Amino acid sequence: MDGEIFSALEGDLRGLKLARFAPYLFVLLWSTGFVGAKYGLPFADPFIFLALRVLIAAIALFFAARIIHAPTRISRTSIVKSSVIGICLHAMYLGGVFFAISKGVPAGVAAVITSLQPVLVSLLAIKVLGEKLKASQFAGLLLGLIGVVLVLGPSIENSISKIGIAGVFVALLGSTSATLLQKRIGSGIPMLAGTAYQYIASGCVLAFAAVITHGTHIEFTWKFVGAMTWLIVVLSVGAVLLLLWLLNTGSAASVSSLFYLVPPATAIEAYFMFGEKVNTQGFLGIAITALGVFLVIRRTS
d(CA 38, CA 286): 22
3-state secondary structure the chain: CHHHHHHHHHHHHHHCCCHHHHHHHHHHHHHHHHHHHHHHHHHECHHHHHHHHHHHHHHHHHHHHHHCCCCCCCCHHHHHHHHHHHHHHHHHHHHHHHHHHHCCCCHHHHHHHHCCHHHHHHHHHHHHCCCCCCHHHHHHHHHHHHHHHHHHHHHCCCCCCHHHHHHHHHHHHHHHHHHHHHHHHCCCCCHHHHHHHHHHHHHHHHHHHHHHCCCCCECCCHHHHHHHHHHHHHHHHHHHHHHHHHHHHCCHHHHHHHHHHHHHHHHHHHHHHHCCCCCHHHHHHHHHHHHHHHHHHCCCC
pLDDT band for position 222 (cuts 50, 70, 90): very high
d(CA 37, CA 87): 19
Domain definitions of the chain by residue range:
21-297
Question: Is the model's pLDDT at 15 over the cut of 50?
Answer: no
Which of the residue ranges 114-128, 179-193, 214-228, 276-290 has the most confident prediction, judged by mean pLDDT?
Answer: 214-228
Q: Mean pLDDT across the chain, nearest whole number?
A: 79
Question: Is the model's pLDDT at 301 over the cut of 50?
Answer: no
Mean pLDDT of 14-26: 67
Higher-confidence residue: 8 or 284?
284
Quick one: pLDDT at residue 17? 52
Which of the residue ranges 4-13, 123-132, 160-169 has the most confident prediction, judged by mean pLDDT?
Answer: 160-169
Quick one: pLDDT at residue 16? 44
Tell me the per-residue pLDDT of 136-157, one tens digit each, with 9 for 90 and over.
777 777 787 787 677 666 555 5
Higher-confidence residue: 203 or 147?
203
Burial class (CB in 10 A: 0-12, 13-18, 19+), 204: middle
Question: Is the model's pLDDT at 104 over the cut of 50?
Answer: yes
Mean pLDDT of 17-45: 80
Sign of CA pseudo-dihedral 51, 57, 58, 63:
positive
pLDDT band for position 13 (cuts 50, 70, 90): very low
Mean pLDDT of 152-178: 77
Quick one: pLDDT at residue 90? 92
pLDDT band for position 130 (cuts 50, 70, 90): low
Tell me the per-residue pLDDT of 239-255, one tens digit each, with 9 for 90 and over.
888 888 888 777 666 77
Q: What are phi and psi of 104, to 5 degrees?
A: 95, 5
Quick one: pLDDT at residue 139? 78
Mean pLDDT of 174-198: 88
